[in-house]
Chain A
Amino acid sequence: MNSPNTKTAIPYNRSRQAREAETMLDHITDDFDDNPAAMDYFYDLFRRAYCQGESLEREGVRVGTTCIHAPEELIYAMGATPVRLCNGSYHYDQIGADFMPAKSCSLVKATLGMLSSENVIPKVGKLDLIVNPTTCDQKKKASAMMVGMGHKVYNLELPPAKESEQARLYWQRSVREFVQQLRQITGKKLTRKNLMAAMARTSRAQAAFRTLHNFRRKAPSLVLGKDVFLVTNAYFFDDIERWTEAVEKLNAELAQRDQDGFCAAQKKAPRILFTGSPPIFPNLKLPLLIEESGGVVVADETCSANRMLYDMTAVDEWLVNDMVDSLANKYLKPCTCPIFTNSDDRLRRLVELAKSFAVDGVVYQAFSGCQVYEMEQKSVAETLNKAGIAMLYIETDYSPDDMGQLTTRIEAFLESLKTRKRNRT
């Protein structure tokens, strides 16, 4: 095989893969003045993990997840560590192309590419289990391929619609069964105590995320979207407590910036809401291009950021059963993933975000080959237009080839937003 992954003599940090990450990170840090000091933690984390190939191996059972629908609280409660496997590397995308048809989603290809490699970046160690929620077709079919690669895969059955009571009950059962599966591989029992501790950790992380999210309402902006995506991307593999502390520090810095009247972007910078296929490091090219062209991403509706961390769990009775059902509820009901039959909630959420974050325009990214995002594009554009919000639809993938063309389109879009704004005032 002459896949780009064949063992070579060069050390990882000089490989093409490391360079891909490094180039992106350099852009993120060096192309902008005044990066928050608290971002250093994240820059450094990504440098170590992606550029140096440093190990982030965790003790104990490691559970990979391929989607936000796998309840992390349950995994933590059983003493295991979740790692989100959705991958953003072009290097792995090319390797993964061997498994999938030509026109398929970069994210799925990259994830498969990573899982088939011997040298997995970020280095999270051998996975004891991969939880693969049955979301889109490509992820569903990827399951067997992962098994073929020698992984132990658990298909967490997600209903295709989420409104009905059947769907809710079906999903609750799926989640309860998942608990059984976790019990088998960890040998531990889910108790009120360990679940409460796990939920407390996630809840604190979510509270920190919400604070960060709320700071982004401020105009002019206190923080740039490229940094926030890096922060939420770090959640995929970082130690949850360390992550939370780092975000709380960032929040403290933003509070200070707010007091000082600091602007992270130009006052007139068009405010962008980002939606669609998730930006995952190193593929942050689209948010980066937006901000390099003078826009600022103030909010997002993607599963690598907002959709992953925003919605919180409410529990009525703190007993294991009720807690598990409540968790199941949180992982299904508020989710705006396009794989569900109905897209009402996604449309409503976009309009609400656009309004409450005083957004000037929406950028919709669809990875070519990701049918569900491609298919929802039209209805989203219509709904937003009706609400008087402009939208730019961009179909792209992980390859850097379209950067030039994308820059032109984004610049034109931002220009049009500025004109619109001027005409309005």
Chain B
Amino acid sequence: MKRLKDAVDRVDLNRFRFWLQLAMFALLVYGGYLAVDLGSRLPMFSCGFNEEGRAGVCYLLPLQHQLSRPWPQLFGIAGVSVLTGFGVFFLWFIVLNKGWCGYVCPLGTIQDWITALRRRLGARYSRYTQGQFRQLSRIKYLLLALMVLIPLGIGGGWFSRDMGTPFCLICPGRMILPMFTGDFSQFTIDFSSKTALVMTALGMGITGLFLAGAFVKKRFFCFFCPMSALHYLISKPALLKLKKDGDKCTRCGDCYTVCDMEIKEIADDIKTRDIMMDDCILCLKCVAACPEPGALKANFASVTFFESTEAGFIKRSQKGIGLEQPEH
């Protein structure tokens, strides 16, 4: 048992993550061809517009649909289906918490691939300033609110039906993911009405921004993702947890250095035990980069399955430098 744990703690996390993400990507984007169907309440961007390949659908699509029902229906019998839908989504979610983002979400994985490409090219990434960070980090909540309010408004008759699923219209997933199954049909601007025109053009722009942004900034889009905001709001009972033991932390900042989401608290906060912040994608890179035994931990249902260790740190960092550790 101890040996297994040591082996896990010494894992080359980046490599493990790369393969797992690749497998998840293949499953979610192409699984549909093998008749895999995980339902339409998935807590990440397995885009529903990838109609042929998808192995399941991103919950935001049905959610927006449901919310745009006419009010009498929504507040009547259809309300039950909204609630059960949310329940299923919630059950999926609590298993992995934001680990859905760090390991499963195809849109997140694509961003990591773009990052890898940039790294290959030797280009440097950019970071936000603290001030920018604090501002930007709010946008996802705004998007989440709009994503709920606009469909409600449609149901109430205030907005045009062309605005149905408003977030999907501007979501980069809608154009990018179907592309992987050879479907480029989403790359069009809809001229049928003014609203449709504006929204699809905006979507086009955002997709461009997504690609360019991910090239200069790690996980560029995830800072703005309303799914991430929704996750955070319901993350308390989740099973997968990121824990910190402040007493063991030297505040060396190594975890912050590697964090794609620039989460400063991961290094600086020594009081909070549940250290998953709202932007966190539970990639666990911080755990792998922490040299202090037990300072950071990943727990599943209160059982620690991966934690920071000195030996693990040294092994990973020396591998990074290209220095193989002699077996001792």
Q: Which A residues form the contact surface with B (CB < 8 A)? A: 163, 165, 168, 196, 199-200, 203-204, 207, 210, 214, 311-319, 321-322, 325-326, 329-330, 332-334, 345, 348-349, 351-352
Q: Quick check: B252 and A311 within 8 Å, CB to CB?
A: yes
Other-chain residue from A318, A329, A348, A352 in contact with B253 (beta carbon distance below 8 A): A329
In the complex the two chains form, is A311's CB within 8 Å of B264's CB? Answer: no
Query: Across the two chains, which residue of chain A brings its CB closest to B270?
Result: A348
Those 6 A-B pairs whose CB atoms lie nearest each other, nearest first: A314-B254, A334-B252, A333-B253, A200-B323, A314-B289, A316-B258
Roughly how many angstroms separate A297 CA and B227 CA in the complex, as a whole number?
A: 54
Given contacts A312-B314, A313-B317, A314-B313, contact A329 B257 (CB under 8 A): yes
Known contacts A210-B310, A319-B122, A333-B267; decide if A345 and B321 are in contact (CB<8 Å).
Answer: no
The answer on a CB contact under 8 Å between A200 and B257 is no
Which chain B residue lies CB-closest to A196?
A: B321
Q: Is B273 an interface residue (CB 8 A)?
A: no
Bound-state CA distance A333–B252 (Å) is: 5
The smallest C-beta distance from B295 to any residue of chain A, in angstroms, reads 10
Per the bound structure, the CA–CA distance linking A342 and B247 in Å amounts to 17
Q: Which residue of B lies closest to A355 (CB)?
A: B247
B291/A314 in contact, CB under 8 A: yes
Residues of B within 8 A of A314 (CB): 254-255, 257-258, 289-291, 313, 317
Residue of B nearest to A322 (CB): B124
Query: B250 contacts A311, CB within 8 Å?
Result: yes
Task: List which B100-152 residues lie within 8 A (CB) of chain A.
Answer: 119, 122, 124-125, 129-130
Tell me, rounded to whole Å, the shortest Cβ–Cβ distance linking B133 to chain A: 9
Cα of A241 to Cα of B168 in the assembled complex, Å: 58
Q: Are A349 and B264 in contact (CB under 8 A)?
A: no
Given known pairs A200-B321, A312-B314, A316-B257, the reply for A349 and B125 (CB within 8 Å) is no
Q: Are B252 and A200 in contact (CB under 8 A)?
A: no
B215 to chain A, nearest CB (A): 14
Chain A residue nearest to B249 in the complex (CB): A348
Residue contact B247 to A330, C-beta cutoff 8 Å: no
* A338 CB to nearest B CB, Å: 16
Specify the main secondary structure of chain B where it touches its partner: helix
Chain A positions within 8 Å of B291 at CB level: 311-312, 314
Q: Distance in Å from the Cβ of B61 to the closest Cβ of chain A?
A: 34
Which B residues are in CB contact (< 8 Å) with A203?
314, 317-318, 321, 323
Complex contacts, A351 vs chain B, CB 8 Å:
247
Q: Does B65 contact A (CB under 8 A)?
A: no
Closest residue on chain A to residue B251 by CB atoms: A345
B121 to chain A, nearest CB (A): 10
Contact A315 B320 (CB under 8 A): yes
Contact A317 B119 (CB under 8 A): yes
Least CB distance, B286 to chain A, in whole angstroms: 9
CB nearest neighbor in B for A251: B328
Q: Is B268 an interface residue (CB 8 A)?
A: yes
Beta-carbon contact of A318 and B314 below 8 Å: no
Q: Is B182 an interface residue (CB 8 A)?
A: no
Residues of A within 8 A of B125 (CB): 317, 322
CB-CB nearest in chain A for B260: A316
Q: Which A residues touch B122, using CB under 8 A? A: 319
Interface check B248, CB cutoff 8 A:
yes
The reply on B76 being an interface residue by CB < 8 A is no
Is the beta-carbon distance between B257 and A326 smaller than 8 angstroms? yes
Complex Cα spacing A219 to B268, Å: 33
Contact among B129, B258, B264, B317 with A312 in the assembled complex (CB-CB below 8 Å): B317
In the complex, which of the residues B268, B314, B322 contacts A196, with contact meaning CB atoms closer than 8 Å? B322
Q: What are 28 A-B pairs at a CB distance below 8 A?
A: A163-B268, A199-B321, A200-B318, A200-B322, A203-B321, A204-B323, A207-B318, A210-B314, A214-B310, A311-B252, A312-B317, A314-B257, A314-B258, A314-B290, A315-B258, A315-B317, A316-B285, A322-B124, A325-B257, A326-B257, A329-B257, A332-B253, A333-B251, A333-B252, A334-B250, A334-B252, A345-B251, A348-B270
Please name all residues of chain A whose beta carbon is closer than 8 Å to the beta carbon of B318 when the two chains form the complex. 200, 203-204, 207
B254 near A349 with CB under 8 A, answer no
| A345 and B323 in contact, given A207-B318, A319-B124 (Cβ under 8 angstroms) | no
Chain B residues lying within 8 Å of A207, measured Cβ to Cβ, are: 314, 318, 325
Q: Are A345 and B317 in touch, CB under 8 angstroms?
A: no
**Inter-chain contact A165/B124, CB cutoff 8 Å:** no
Residues on A with C-beta less than 8 A from B129 are 165
Bound-state CA distance A210–B318 (Å) is 14
Q: Which residues of A contact B257 (CB under 8 A)?
A: 314-316, 325-326, 329
The residue in chain B whose Cβ has the minimal distance to the Cβ of A349 is: B250
Residues of B within 8 A of A319 (CB): 119, 122, 124
Identify which of residues 11-38 in chain B touch chain A, using a CB-to-CB cut-off of 8 Å.
none
B residues 225-278 touching A (CB-CB < 8 Å): 247-248, 250-258, 264, 267-268, 270
Once bound together, how far apart are the Cα atoms of A280 and B258, in whole Å? 35
Alpha-carbon distance between A82 and B205 when the two chains are bound, in angstroms: 52
Q: Which residue of A lies closest to B290 (CB)?
A: A314
Docked pose: A72 CA to B323 CA in angstroms:
18
Which residues of chain A come closer than 8 Å to B130, judged between CB atoms? Answer: 165
CA distance A220 to B277 in the complex (A): 43
**Chain B residue nearest to A206 in the complex (CB):** B314
- Shortest distance between the CB of A62 and any CB in chain B (Å): 25
Chain A residue nearest to B264 in the complex (CB): A165
Once the chains are docked, how many angstroms separate the CA of A329 from the CA of B122? 21
Bound CA span A315–B322, Å: 13
Complex CA–CA separation, A264 to B320 (angstroms): 37
Q: How far is the CA of A332 from the CA of B251 in the complex (A)?
A: 10
CB distance from B192 to the nearest CB of A (A): 45
Q: Decide: B322 and A321 in contact? CB cutoff 8 A.
A: no
Q: Which residues of A contact B250 (CB under 8 A)?
A: 311, 334, 345, 349
Residues of B close to A196: CB separation below 8 A: 321-322
**A317 CB to nearest chain B CB (Å):** 5
- Determine if B247 and A312 form an interchain contact, defined as CB atoms under 8 angstroms apart: no
Complex: chain A residue closest to B322, CB-CB: A196
Distance A207 CA – B315 CA, assembled complex (angstroms):
10
A311 CA / B129 CA spacing, docked (Å): 26
Query: Shortest CB–CB separation between residue B201 and chain A, in angstroms?
Result: 35
Cβ distance B253 to chain A, nearest Cβ, rounded Å: 4
Name A192's closest neighbour in chain B (CB-CB): B122
Least CB distance, B115 to chain A, in whole angstroms: 9
* A349, B264: Cα distance in complex, Å: 20
> Which B residue's beta carbon lies closest to that of A252?
B328
> In the complex, what distance in Å separates the CA atom of A349 from the CA atom of B295?
13
Nearest-neighbour CB distance to chain A for B222, whole angstroms, equals 16
Determine which residue in A311, A317, A351 has the highest number of CB atoms from chain B within 10 A of its CB, and name it: A317
Cα A204 to Cα B314 with chains together (Å):
9
